[in-house]
Amino acid sequence: MFSRIIRTAEPPMQAPASCAQAGATGHRARLLSRIGARSVSKRVPKCQSRCRWLITLLIPISPAVQEVTMTAAPKLGSRSAIGLLRDMRTRELSPVELLDDVLAATEAVQPQLNAFTRVLADEARAQAEESERRLLAGEARPLEGLPIPIKDNVLVAGAPVTDGSRMTPDFPVPIDTELVGRLRQAGAVLFAKTNLPEFGTISTTESVRFGATRNPWDLSRTAGGSSGGSAAAVAAGVVPAAHGNDGGGSLRIPASCCGLFSLRPSRGRVPRGPLPGNDPALLVVDGFITRSVADNALLLDVVSGAALGDPVTAPSPARPFRDEVTAAPGSLRIGWTASPVPGLTVDPACAAAVEEAARLSEELGHHVEAVALNWSTDTLTNDFFDLWAGLIGATSTSTRASAATQTWSSPTTGRCGSGREASTLLS
């Protein structure tokens, strides 16, 4: 049986006061001493202003949420996914107990943050009970019992998919997308759908249907977008990881706004279908928002790999992504710029943080040089929105198309640019 005794060896994440407290050595110790213990002010309009950040290891839970919405004992979701999975495998923590804690945290933060569009408590409880049975039988899967919320623009069997819009019908879909199915088959507990702007089209999370998601670090600011609900849930300590997707920054922007980690996986790394329209420009990629690189690598290992019918696939990695987290990278060639979008002003605090990271990278033995990005902001913006408009047009029209014309309608309906133009823009 499960002891239902929660380990104390892994405390809730918080910013380390020193490298010794973080247990860091070598390059990581130097990095933490230079960056990790600081609070970086990012005066980006409508974005959070007290973003503590670390590379790879510890990212703290927002003090705003600790003070405003979670004044009780620290929640289990503030710990790492890897640590929670370990404790469930050793029967020191029950999947049902973990889910109860996550649902309680969800209820506590939702009035302030508005991170979720729907909670699937009954379905999740059945999944957690199945995970408990498997753990007791010694049949644990890679993510057995780990609660993960899914952004409300992909299919989760038994739940509606709203895309944050009043235009979408509110009825359950019968199937999972391939990614959601892989999470489910790996033992993840899919307990909620997370908030997003309508059709994920802007970089803040606000819609007429569901309202705005607020930043746990500062409730007067946005959590970013379009995966803002996922980022807010992780930053608040509800869960250690949440699903999102990214076509123009929709994982990276909210991760930055909320002081978290994310990346946009290579196209074809994670399967996207089945989706209406199937993204004819291959613009959007699924991934995760986490507090640690190691947790993100764990999840990417689970969901990566080609699926039948994928229009493009990425080469298989030489080794699991989790192994890459601790592997020495060698000397990297790194280009950086403090002015990534010509014509727009970068806040001095943000520019200083980038320069500090560049200096530190050079001290760690990498080749670092400043580069100029010579492109037209207007051209880039217009090309991107051509592709985005094509995606929305193809999605809406192919939803009405019959099965016989689905294959034809996906790449052609609503297309605003040539394949060569799309390839050039996305490469």
For residue 226, indicate whether it is catalytic.
yes
| Strand ranges inside 21-158, DSSP E | 39-40, 51-52, 116-119, 150-151
Structure tokens at 52: 């503590």
Q: Which is catalytic among the residues 131, 250, 256, 398?
A: 250
> CB–CB of 31/123 below 8 Å?
no
> Whole-angstrom Cα distance, residue 48 to residue 275?
33
Q: Produce one character per residue of 160-188: b if its CB has 16 or more CB atoms within 10 Å, e if not.
A: bbbbbbeebeeeeeeebbbbbbbbbebbb
Helix (H, G, I), strand (E, B) or coil at 229: helix
Output phi, psi for 101, to 5 deg.
-65, -45
Report the candidate in 159, 153, 189, 185 with the shortest Cα–Cα distance to residue 173. Answer: 159
List CB contacts of 366: < 8 A, sequence separation 6 or more.
331, 332, 333, 334
Size of the chain in residues: 427
For residue 250, indicate whether it is catalytic.
yes
CB atoms inside a 10 Å sphere around CB 420 = 8
Q: Which is catalytic among the residues 151, 165, 304, 398?
A: 151
> CB–CB of 225/204 below 8 Å?
yes
Structure tokens at 381: 């913006």
Helices and strands counted in the chain (H then E): 15, 12
Q: Which is catalytic among the residues 80, 226, 256, 304?
A: 226
Residues acting as catalytic residues? 151, 226, 250
